Amino acid sequence: MTGLRLADGPVIPNFGKPSACLRDNGWFCTDWIHEHWGDTLQPALIQHIQLTLIAVGIGFVIAFALALVALRFGFLDPPLGVFTDFLYVIPSLALFQLLVPLSGVTVTTVEIALVSYTLFILYRNIVVGLRSVPPDVLESARGMGLTRRQTFLRVELPLALPAILSGLRIAVVATISIATVAAFLIEDGLGAPIFAAIGTPDLFKTELVAAGGLAILLALSAEALLALAQRALTPWNRVR
Amino acid sequence: MATEAAELVFDEATKVYAGREGAAVDHLSLTVPAGEICVLVGPSGGGKTTALKLVNRLIPLTSGYIRIDGTQIGDYDVTELRRSIGYVIQQVGLFPHMTVEANIGTVPRLLGRPRSWIKARSAELLELVGLDPSYAKQFPAQLSGGERQRVGLARALAANPPLMLMDEPFGAIDPIVRARLQDEFLRLQKEIRKTVVFVTHDIDEAIKVGDRIAILREGGRLAQYDTPMQILEHPVDEFVADFVGRDRALKALALKTLGELELSPATEDGLPRLPADTSLRDALAVAVAERRDALLVVGPDGSPLGVVRREDLLR
């Protein structure tokens, strides 16, 4: 072993052979997209989806548990509402910075912040959905001999589904948007190429447009997908 | 519990709500014979609905007993008890996210009946309550108020319970549909012969529907428990007489038909002809409107049965 393996290329990547795209810096240069889809855009997109799914998934579990607690012990609903609202109100950048001393410059920090933003939306919608079940429906369920558990699983939960799914839609879209800011902290998600483009001396437009556009596309498709799921899962809401 | 119809006994049944003065139901004792409709009626605050909900233990008894076919309700498992009692409420309480068929199949599903059984039972019950089989796949939001209440009744009958509890079942329905539902319910009851406890605040509905009427007064005390005719003709006190109304004599006339009277032989011609199943009240209305002293009663085939005089109607 004579030493560490040295890289072959120039010290500054792409030095000396800037692509035509970089040189001309037009609004949208397809060659660059072709060349860098595999090493830049696609990984960023996948990371972005991962960041979002993990945040909304964990957020949903926590919000659901909090909602059940609030419904069981009514006096806890106002404080839980205020707490989740408080988390929601903190500006995302500030929350990222605040968490760094606790969890470092890590994905964990970003996820904690993202989860805390979903809580408010999900918690509110789950509570409202479960509370909106008409009292006569609950009474007939009880009178017909459904147990507490059966009433919850077969009646309350399905009837709360429209509100819960609405909350999920808002939470997913909001998280997709906030997750771009995560790139201030870590090199993950579609925010990374956006910041990279902004960081170039004369603002590399193609990368900015491509990454930003992907984030918008991702939000739109998530919204459409969830809207379709909502339609399919709540057929009784479509009648009449 | 036996399947056909059960006898229901209230034995000094009492409900006192914590923190409230006086009882909601006060030492209520009455027996509903198997296969009969008992109507609980009275002013608000009379504890009618409370008394009803004591039976399926939606409200726990404070003291006293309620027995179904001789067994105290407390000795049944509460879930089993409720599944074996049909329950119909004013707002119906259909599950909005389930089709009509799924709603009707609720209790059979809990009892583990197979899907094919539920489908067949649902079709049978839709026919019984006078709804087209095509309703099976509809959602409650697509039905009218009257149709919803029919589905509610079908759902309560789905497990073929020996006892039905009906809490103002027709209370939220407009008068015309209401009268039709009452008629159909009575026709249905002739076929299925369930024991029914029926709560209403409407004395006319009580008289029409009940085999027996229990009139409850404020504080949940039983004022009188009797057949409609007895209550109309012999109210036990001022309260009952008041509650039944000044027109109780007319209401009593509505309960008897011409066929129940002794008729004199037909001699006169040109009398108004009325079928034997006409109520005395309607017959009197015809006699007054046409200024006649006598009416000709005819059989179902139109053959004359005899003559009734106006004063016979009022006797």
Domains of chain A and any CATH numbers? 36-233 (1.10.3720.10)
**B95 and A CB contact within 8 Å:** yes
**Which residue is closest to A158 within chain B, CA to CA?**
B97
List CB contacts of B219: < 8 A, sequence separation 6 or more.
Answer: B22, B23, B26, B45, B46, B47
pLDDT at residue number B1? 44
User: For residue B199, with 0-12 CB atoms within 10 Å meaning exposed, 13-18 middle and 19 or more buried, which class applies?
Assistant: buried
**Which residue is closest to A142 within chain B, CA to CA?**
B58
Q: Examine the pLDDT at B163 and tell me if it is beyond 70.
A: yes
**B138 and A CB contact within 8 Å:** yes
Q: What average pLDDT does the structure give for chain A?
A: 87
**DSSP notation for B80-147:** HHHHTEEEEETT----TTS-HHHHHTHHHHHTT--HHHHHHHHHHHHHHTT--GGGGG--GGGS-HHH
Q: How do beta strands B63-68 and B8-15 pair?
A: antiparallel
What's the average model confidence in pLDDT over A89-99? 82
Separation of alpha carbons B283 and B228, rounded Å: 20
Report helix, strand or coil for B43: coil
Q: How far is CA B100 from CA A138, A151, B133, B157, in A?
A: 17, 18, 10, 14
Contacts of A150 in chain B (CB under 8 A): 110
Q: What pLDDT, in 10s, does the model give residues B81-117?
A: 999 999 999 999 999 999 999 999 999 999 999 999 9
Tell me if B97 and A239 make a contact (CB, 8 A cut-off). no
Q: Examine the pLDDT at A232 and tell me if it is beyond 80.
A: yes
What's the average model confidence in pLDDT over A15-43? 74
Separation of alpha carbons A126 and A166, rounded Å: 10
Q: What pLDDT, in 10s, does the model give residues B169-192?
A: 998 888 888 999 999 999 999 999
Tell me if B98 and A134 make a contact (CB, 8 A cut-off). no
**Which of B162, B229, B170, B157 has its CA nearest to residue B201?**
B170
Tell me if B89 and A136 make a contact (CB, 8 A cut-off). yes
- Of the candidates B141, B155, B165, the beta carbon closest to that of A239 is on B141
Q: What pLDDT, in 10s, does the model give residues A99-147?
A: 888 888 888 888 988 999 899 999 999 999 999 999 999 999 999 999 9
Q: Is the pTM of this model over 0.80?
A: yes
What's the average model confidence in pLDDT over B155-171? 94
Separation of alpha carbons B275 and A73, rounded Å: 65
Domain with CATH 3.40.50.300 in chain B: 8-248
Separation of alpha carbons A203 and B250, rounded Å: 95
Q: What pLDDT, in 10s, does the model give residues B259-310?
A: 888 888 877 778 888 998 888 988 998 888 988 888 889 888 888 888 888 8
Report helix, strand or coil for A187: coil
Lookup: tokens for B144: 């009218």
Tell me, rounded to whole angstroms, the distance of Cα B6 from its chain centroid. Answer: 16
Scan for tokens 């233990």, then name that residue.
B57
Using an 8 Å Cβ cutoff, are B40 and B197 in contact? yes
For B228-258, the three-class secondary structure string (H helix, E strand, C coil) is HHHHHHCCCCHHHHHHHCCCHHHHHHHHCEH
Contacts of B142 in chain A (CB under 8 A): 239-240
Report helix, strand or coil for B18: coil
Q: Which residue pairs, CB below 8 angstroms and at least 24 apart, start in B177-183? A: B177/B145, B177/B146, B180/B146, B181/B146, B181/B149, B181/B150, B182/B208, B182/B209
Separation of alpha carbons B125 and B133, rounded Å: 9
Report helix, strand or coil for B35: coil
Using an 8 Å Cβ cutoff, are B88 and B165 in contact? yes
**Nearest-CA distance A236 → chain B (Å):** 5
Give the side-chain half-sphere CA count within 13 A for B248.
18
**Nearest-CA distance B106 → chain A (Å):** 8
Angle between helices B280-289 and B248-255 (to 10 degrees): 110
Contacts of A236 in chain B (CB under 8 A): 96-98, 139-141
List CB contacts of A231: < 8 A, sequence separation 6 or more.
Answer: A238
Domain with CATH 3.90.1280.20 in chain B: 256-313
Q: How many CB atoms lie within 10 A of CB A121?
A: 24
What CATH number labels B8-248?
3.40.50.300
What CATH number labels B256-313?
3.90.1280.20
